[in-house]
Structure 1
Amino acid sequence: MLHSKYEWRNSFYDQRTGEELARQLNLSPLMGSILAARGIHDADDVSRLLHGHLEELHDPLLMSGMQEAVPRIRQALEQGERILIYGDYDADGASSTSLMIQLMRRLDADFEYYIPHRSKEGYGLHISALEQAKARGVSLIITVDTGISAVEQIAFASLAGMDVIVTDHHEPPVQLPQAYALINPKLPYCPYPFKGLAGVGVAYKLAAALLNHEVPNEWLELVAIGTIADLMPLTDENRILVKLGLQSMSRSAFPGVRALLQIAGWKGGEVSSTQVAFGLAPRINASGRMSHANLAVELLTENDDERAGQEAIALDQLNKERQELVEDILEQALEQVGEKKRDPERPDVIVVAGEGWNVGVVGIVASKILERYYRPVIVLAINPETGECKGSARSIPGFDIYEALTDCSDLLHHYGGHPSAAGMSLHRRELGEFEQRLNRYAELKMEPEQLVPWMESDVECALGDITLPALEQLELLAPYGMGNPQPRLMIRGASLQEAKQMGKDGKHLRLLLRQQDILMEAVCFGKGDLACCLSEMAEVDLIAEAGINEWNGSRKPQLMIQDLRVPHMQVFDFRGTRQPLAKLLELIGGLGRIQNAAAESAAVLVNSPVRQEVENQLNELPVWVYDRRIGARQDGLSEYPVHPEQVRSLFILELPNFPVEMNRMLSIFKGLERIYLLHPNITAQEVLRPPSRELFKEVYALLRALTMRRIPEAELLPLLEARTTLSRRMLEMVLDVFEELEFISRQAGELLVNESPSKKPLETSQRYLELARLAEMEQILLHGQIPQISQWLQPQIQVVS
């Protein structure tokens, strides 16, 4: 058995709709089902989804504030006013700023741009920066990806004689700034149909309004970068903007984009949203996190190939430093989380803070902690000199972290963001109350079931449904991202043919799966340690994304596993291992890497108390000894006694002497999920043979011939061995049966055949029946294949269950 990491949910859809779409549009059944699962009901919906064009974008003048902003900017251009583009330091902000620079250059404007330093200044507009802009002659400020909460700062700018046009996409606060124009589709009074634009998307709309929709296609590359990096939904307008931006990016006109793609490992061909999300976005973000976002803006607006290459290398190095820093802070943060005793059933918000932590990476740390604990997380960097705390929040579905911060707003100097991610600042003296207030709010707003991580699949299918033509059709659903994830397929009952670790240090997992006559390879990244929990021929359920693996001119379907489980108890074959104790400890180590309580839920099984030196090697693992009366008992007085129902992994170092011990052992270890066979092999000659009437007749005839008088049993057994193919152990048990049936008598180590034995059938002997069961058990456990062993154990496991 192997538990899934997530609770699995399958989309509900009308199967007939999927079948009809597939028939009408000549699509694969898989494609039809996925479209239906995503709410696509007719051919027109499919056409809009798969073939969106720029002409379908909404009119930018529908966005509130646009009617005021456009003439004011044109006035500034006509009168030669100095314009300040005020941006943000993340990838969306850098992309927005870069797009506005392109716009200002095209309009031949007198302009400059400003992005605050993340750790020295923090998010948003700053009065000191506005003062300096005024001194440089700025009279018009256009914000991008920021400004919707800057009430005080915009009031200052207005008093100083500077008009401010805000373009933003963050959640508007209750009190809005008195700007010259507010452009934000999320404003409650804004009639714009689509609310999911990124900051760069709003900036693009302003450019479209100013240029009468004659926006250069290559600018869509910047829209794609910011939209993907800021995790905006790839639906509606964003889908069109990003899809066209990615197409342009594959032959980019921007030297900086080309240089970034190359350093991120792009090998040519189409650029995917995944390559932007995991290749470009982290490097762009690294500039603002580790240095200054101006570095990313300079790269994205660079016109010289050589300088662009150098700037891309610098961002790549910053990203590597960022990765190391994240791991260091994460380790410290997890120590804090571990020190706080948490009730796993109780809703709570995790709050950790540390002096000297880099404020630029605390959001990444928060995401990693959320992934581990599945709780809303806030990570704060404390300035040891001022006590100022700046941090980032990440939340789980259904818990609006922006609203939670609003409930604590009297403790905060500043905050802003979205339901799933936010930023804030406060003084360290408020940290205790801040955490308490957040958790009181969570208790009111969050239900326990929200704390169970879940994963949704689009459809349930078989391996046979995942064909190359079907996958080629699925590629039309790209670009993938928030709001339009890559389709996830649920597959049940695939037979595991092979499981291998791969990659550096065995970090990843490769599986070969069979279902009916279909063989398919599956890869699970970052889950190499699961190999120790997957047995030969296990029946595997999985949720996976499907793609096409191309290698040396060959193309075939491949699964990228997102989660998997084995719903039955598994048996693992390590019989005859030369160093069983070393193998046992290796397996325990592997289990420990995927479940924290591996050692506490394991048991080692032997048929006699272990020697002290062996017990020392087992590192205090609980050792159990077969017991004919109760099944098994824990060996000695362990410092850490384990209840048998807590045992999940059973390591069998020795087989029992009697089958009843095996049956009763299984009855006390009721929670078993895995059995590891580590017992030694014995020769075929040593294995007990299934008893039969002919075998007993043969032995009895030899006894009559060899025992005309009383004979010491020690002399008799070698004579019988020499005249039969039976082992001494088998012969001793045959003699036990004869004694029970009164065919022979034993006294003082000597044996005599009874001249007139009573005629009792062999089957009336309990020892005969026990010998039959023991022989069957040994034949199976010593020489059977794992499927045969599992099948043999199943009836006993079902009785236990």
Structure 2
Amino acid sequence: MFESKYTWQAPKGNEETARNLAEELSVSSLTASLLASRGISNAEEAGMFLNGNLEALHDPYLLLGMEKAVPRIRQAIENEEHILIYGDYDADGVSSTSLMIYFMRHLGASYDIYIPHRSNEGYGLHNHALDWAHQQGVSLVITVDTGISAVEQIAYANSLGLDVIVTDHHEPPEMLPDAYALINPKQPGCPYPFKGLAGVGVAYKLAQAVLKDPPVEWTEIVAIGTIADLMPLTGENRILVSRGLECMRHTAFPGIQALMEVSGIKMGTVTSINVAFGMAPRINASGRLDHAGSAVALLTTEDLDEAQKLSHALDELNKERQQVVEAIVEEALIQLQCKMTDGAVPDVIVIAGEGWNVGVVGIVASKILERYYRPVIILGIDPATGMCKGSARSIPGLDIFEALTSCKELMDHYGGHPSAAGMSLNREQLPAFEEALNRFAAQVMSEEDYIPVTSTDGEWILSDVPLAVIDEMEMLAPFGMSNPVPKLVFRDTQLVELRKMGKEGKHLKLVVRQGEARIEAVAFGRGELAGLLEPGMTLDILGEISVNEWNGSRKPQLMLQDMKITGPQVFDLRGCKEPWGEIQRMVDTVAPHMRLDYRHIAAVFNPSLESSPKMHLNDCTLWVYDKKAGISAFNDAANMYGKDQITTLFMVHVPDSAEQLDALLASFKNLSNVFLLHAGRSKGEQLTIPSRDQFKLLYVLLMRMAAEPIREQEALARLSQQSSSSLRMVTMMMDVFEELSFIERRDGDIVVIPKPPKRELSSSMHFTNLGSLAEMEQHLVYAGTPQCTSWIISRWEGVS
């Protein structure tokens, strides 16, 4: 069985709610089900979800601290005070800073901005920046997307006579800073109904409190930061992002126009997905490899030529960022291999490297998490100072902010969310830091937490998703966190066609059908699986449904996320030149798709044909054919893990007999995949299922040439030629004659017995074995793939 990479989690039972919504809203059962699974229980809630507008936003004065902040800002404007906007270097921080620039311009304020350099300064407020602000005559500092943890720094600002208004959305620490005003919906005692605002969302609420009706186009900036920071696209965020995307489709901002153009996005059809995967990475690239000020300049410029220049510079930075990420990923994986005792991945992966660009370690952490499904922390070490700065990405089973809090004494600074965080510490603390995090994870996590899970929107059939329904589903956009693109499960589809596509065949295109309904499915980055799939297979598939538009034609298309081949599977790789190298390649390719590690994998070979395997899979269980026991353990892994955990078997050589094959298949009770890698035999070695006439002919030929004893090798060669049987076949037929006392073998000669006893061929064990061996090799060695695989499955099912 080709397992899915993830466990597919069905939505909670809401069938009755979905039926009611379908009737009340006159929508398809699929659209109604999607609404119900997103927590919408009636038509009124559905109307708010689908049609919410800016008038439905909450009163900004419900935010604790707003009552103090607004008069202080108005006072600063009236008195012409110099204001500092202090931001952050990620896309949310860039968006927040840009929004505040528009806000300051609108108010006619005197202002400066300050964004720390990610590599040189790191996250948060810094005293040297406050010193600079004081020297510039600043009297009011407004932070955006930062500040909630800056207890010492704000105390220092107070000592300089600076008032600080903090606007932030990160998790508040136990001790809050003594700021002039703290605005964060997550702070204790804040009655604000919606806690999911991005940093730019909180900044927008500040502008809304001062202006009452901020310019609607500012929601474009809010949309970018909210999507990029992976905030939930529900509640107020959904309203702000929907309105922002609507404005963006005819934007007047030169920077946003240029950014869409360089990202290959059609302005008139921009979506949240375009922002997340096209615009946000380029904005983030500025803060990761250079300084975020260039991204702020892009979003706030009023000059189209400057916007073009800045957008292309960000695009080049993003390409460079991709190369840097890949290099660090390779180094990190080498380090991780050294940490994996007996092939076991640590509960929390902590990896640090000298000179690693701290601007991209979060992306590296995400990539390694995706591969191993473990919480990951990647840190860059400054070789001169020994300071480590890093980013964490976590899985649902571990609140990484809580985990970091459990060992906060080991860090100089940390902050973040349950799923992502940042920290800094000295390299001397790294061993204790890693040990403490793994100890915490061992206490709070269970085995189930390490099984990758993906939420789905239920099981459907292909006829449920015609074009009209796909178009209707767009009502649920914008998609993002907490309102993901619908993922639908289609079971028991038949694979009709498949082919590789794209550069170097990295991608896969399938055509599947259910009854009369057919659909194309595209799997990006899955081209290596083409060799494991064959038309006619039954697949369970999980994907995101969309519309493929080409040359005026529109048809449904599935973006494949995961798939599973049901039932036992035999994969025909017979005749490969380097079977051990092929095993290693296949393990690397299919392990993520079959939930495999080495204890689940067995390779079996014939020790008389090969004394030891030419491979480095010592963690894989290795077995040899054994005439008495069927198979025997060859390496320590086989002795340690045993047979019961084996799910995937690689057959390097053909068994010596059908009974040995049956014993092999019966030994592994949980086997679900068999890979055939054995070499074929030449026609000169082929066995045929023996018949009585064949034996009669051979005996007559033997009688003619062996009136006197004859050398066996000479007899076998002549009999093979005269009977048109292989030399191997004739040799084994001689074994039958000898067992039945038709001949004797004496010192290399064959002697024919003149008057042999009358005995049936079927009474000979050699005759029976020859028949079963010939049948086995006919299917296992010479038959085509369909006949070979179906025969093995029938034997497999017969012994299970």
TM-score, normalising length from structure 1?
A: 0.86
Q: Is it true that 1:28 corresponds to 2:24 in the alignment?
A: no
Q: Is 1:465 the counterpart of 2:461 in the alignment? A: no
Q: Distance in 1 between matches of 2:598 and 2:173?
A: 48
CA distance in 2, matches of 1:335, 1:356: 16
The one-letter code sitting in structure 2 at the alignment partner of 1:589 is: R
* Secondary structure, aligned partner of 2:336: helix
Alpha-carbon separation, structure 1, partners of 2:75 and 2:330 = 54
Aligned residues: 785
Q: 1:28·1:470 contact (CA, 8 Å) conserved in 2? A: yes
Q: Give 1:325-340 correspondences, 5 Å limit.
A: 325-340=324-339
What is the CA-CA distance between 1:585 and the residue it aligns to?
3.1
Q: 1:745 to 1:141 in 2, by over 3 A?
A: closer
Partner of 1:591: 587
- C-alpha change, 1:220 and 1:337, in structure 2 (3 Å) is same
Structure 1 position 195 matched with structure 2 position 195: yes
Query: Which residue is 1:242 aligned to?
Result: 241
After TM superposition, the structure 1 = structure 2 runs for residues 567-606 of structure 1, keeping only pairs within 5 Å, are 567-575=566-574, 577=575, 580-582=576-578, 585-586=581-582, 588-595=584-591, 601-603=601-603, 605=605
Distance change >3 Å, CA 697–CA 320, structure 1 → 2: closer
CA–CA distance in structure 2, aligned partners of residues 609 and 71 of structure 1: 89
What's the counterpart of residue 776 of structure 2? 777
Q: Summarize the alignment of residues 209-288 of structure 1 with structure 2, pairs less than 5 Å apart.
A: 209-213=209-213, 215-288=214-287
Partner of 1:46: 46
Compute the displacement of 1:326 (Å).
Answer: 2.5
Q: CA deviation digits over 1:216-255, x for unaligned, max 9? A: 2321111111001111111111112112212222322111
- 1:773 and 1:190 map into 2 onto residues whose CA distance is 79
Q: What does residue 374 of structure 2 align with?
A: 375
Shift of 1:502: 3.2
Q: Give the conservation status (yes or no) of the 8 Å contact 1:592–1:598.
A: no
Q: Is the 8 A contact 2:623 2:638 kept in 1?
A: no
* Alignment check: 8 A CA contact 1:709 1:752 kept: no
Task: Please give the secondary structure, in 1, of the residue aligned with 2:179.
Answer: coil
Q: What are the superposed Cα offsets for residues 54-95 of structure 1, whole Å, 9 maximum, x if unpaired?
A: 222212222222233223222322332222211111110110
- The 2-side partners of 1:446 and 1:122 are apart by 31
Aligned mates of 2:721, 2:360 — CA distance in 1: 78
Match in the other structure for 2:407: 408
> What's the CA shift string for 1:33-59, capped at 9, x where partnerless?
333333322222322222222222212
Q: Structure 1's 782 and 217: CA in aligned 2 closer, same or farther, altered over 3 A?
A: same
CA displacement at 1:657 relative to structure 2? 5.5
Task: Give the aligned partner of residue 9 of structure 1.
Answer: 9
Instruction: Report the residue type matching 2:197 in the other structure.
Output: L
| C-alpha contact (below 8 Å) 1:118/1:360 kept by paired residues | yes
**CA shift for structure 1 position 28:** 2.9
Residue 667 of structure 1 corresponds to 666
Q: Distance in 1 between matches of 2:733 and 2:61?
A: 97
Provide, for residues 669-690 of structure 1, a one-character-per-residue CA deviation record: whole Å limited to 9, x for no partner. 555422225442666996625x
The CA deviation at 1:295 is: 0.7
Provide the C-alpha distance between the structure 2 equivalents of 1:515 and 1:567, rounded to a whole number of angstroms: 15
CA deviation after TM superposition for structure 1 residue 118, in Å = 1.9
1:122 aligned onto 2:122 = yes
Report the Cα offset of residue 724 of structure 1. 9.2
Amino acid at match of 1:660: E
| Change over 3 Å in CA distance of 1:662–1:144 after alignment to 2 | same
Distance 1:776 1:269, change over 3 A: farther
Query: Aligned runs of 1:358-757 on 2, under 5 Å?
Result: 358-534=357-533, 537-575=536-574, 577=575, 580-582=576-578, 585-586=581-582, 588-595=584-591, 601-603=601-603, 605=605, 609-610=608-609, 627-632=626-631, 645=643, 650-652=649-651, 655-656=654-655, 658-670=657-669, 672=671, 673-676=673-676, 678-680=678-680, 688-689=688-689, 696=692, 749=750
Residues 145 and 169, structure 1, Cα contact 8 Å, conserved in 2: yes
* 8 Å contact from structure 2 (residues 512, 519) kept in 1: yes
In structure 2, the CA distance between the partners of 1:765 and 1:113, relative to structure 1 (3 Å rule), is same
Q: Residues 789 and 37 (structure 1 numbering): CA distance in 2 closer, same or farther, change over 3 Å?
A: farther
* 8 A Cα contact 1:539 1:566, kept in partner: yes
- Matched residue SS, 2:541: strand
Tell me how far 1:155 sits from its aligned partner.
3.2
Distance 1:164 1:764 in 2: 100
Paired amino acid for 2:399: D
> Which 10-residue stretch deviates more, 50-59 or 625-634?
625-634
Kept after mapping to 1: 8 A contact 2:548/2:555: yes
State how far apart, in whole Å, the 2-side matches of 1:545 and 1:730 are. Answer: 56
The AA in structure 2 aligned to 1:278 is F
- Structure 2 Cα separation of the partners of residues 498 and 106 of structure 1: 59
Deviations 1:693-735 (A, max 9, x none): xx74797699899979986899999999999998787788789
8 Å Cα contact 2:462-2:490 kept in structure 1: yes
Amino acid at match of 2:175: Q
Query: Which 10-residue stretch deviates more, 75-84 or 732-741?
Result: 732-741
Distance 1:321 1:717, change over 3 A: closer
Deviation at 1:782, TM superposition (A): 4.9
Q: What letter is aligned with 1:591?
A: V
Q: What CA RMSD, in Å, does the superposition of the two structures yield over aligned residues?
A: 3.9
Q: Is the 8 A contact 1:543 1:562 kept in 2?
A: yes
1:2–1:566 CA contact under 8 A, matched in 2: yes
Q: Distance in 1 between matches of 2:283 and 2:16?
A: 46
Q: Higher mean Cα deviation, 137-146 or 706-715?
A: 706-715
Asked if 2 retains the 8 angstrom alpha-carbon contact of 1:696 and 1:734, the reply is no
Tell me the CA shift for residue 30 of structure 1: 2.6
Q: 1:633 to 1:609 in 2, by over 3 A?
A: farther
| 2:308 aligned partner | 309
Give the drift of 1:311: 0.7
- 1:256 Cα offset (Å): 1.1
Structure 1 position 764, deviation (Å): 6.5
Q: 1:735 to 1:384 in 2, by over 3 A?
A: closer
After superposing the two structures, state which structure 1 stretch, 247-256 or 525-534, moved more. Answer: 525-534
Residue 644 of structure 1 contacts residue 668 of structure 1 at CA under 8 Å; is this kept in 2? no
% identity of equivalent residues: 51
Partner SS, residue 560 of structure 1: strand
CA spacing shift, 1:463–1:78, aligned 2, 3 Å? same
Using the TM superposition, give the Cα deviation of residue 310 of structure 1 relative to its aligned residue in structure 2, in angstroms.
0.9
Please, which runs of 5 or more residues in structure 1 have no aligned partner? none
Query: Partners in 1 of 2:358 and 2:699 — Cα distance?
Result: 89
Distance 1:775 1:470, change over 3 A: farther
> What SS does the corresponding residue of 1:187 show, helix, strand or coil?
coil
Give the structure 2 partner of residue 64 of structure 1: 64
What secondary structure is seen at the aligned counterpart in 2 of 1:228?
A: helix
CA drift at 1:382 = 3.2
Distance, in Å, in 2 between the alignment partners of 1:138 and 1:427 is 33
In structure 2, the gaps of 5 or more residues are none
State how far apart, in whole Å, the 2-side matches of 1:66 and 1:620 are: 62
How far apart, in 2, do the equivalents of 1:346 and 1:730 lie? 51
Distance 1:499 1:591, change over 3 A: farther
**SS of the counterpart of 2:148?**
coil
1:556 aligned counterpart, secondary structure: strand
Kept in 1: contact 2:507–2:523 (CA 8 A) = yes
User: Corresponding residue for 2:323?
Assistant: 324
The Cα of 1:408 is off from its aligned counterpart by 3.0
For residues 688 and 12 of structure 2, the distance between their equivalents in structure 1, rounded to whole angstroms, comes to: 55
* Alpha carbons 1:88, 1:144 under 8 Å: kept: yes
The yes-or-no answer on 1:155 pairing with 2:151 is: no
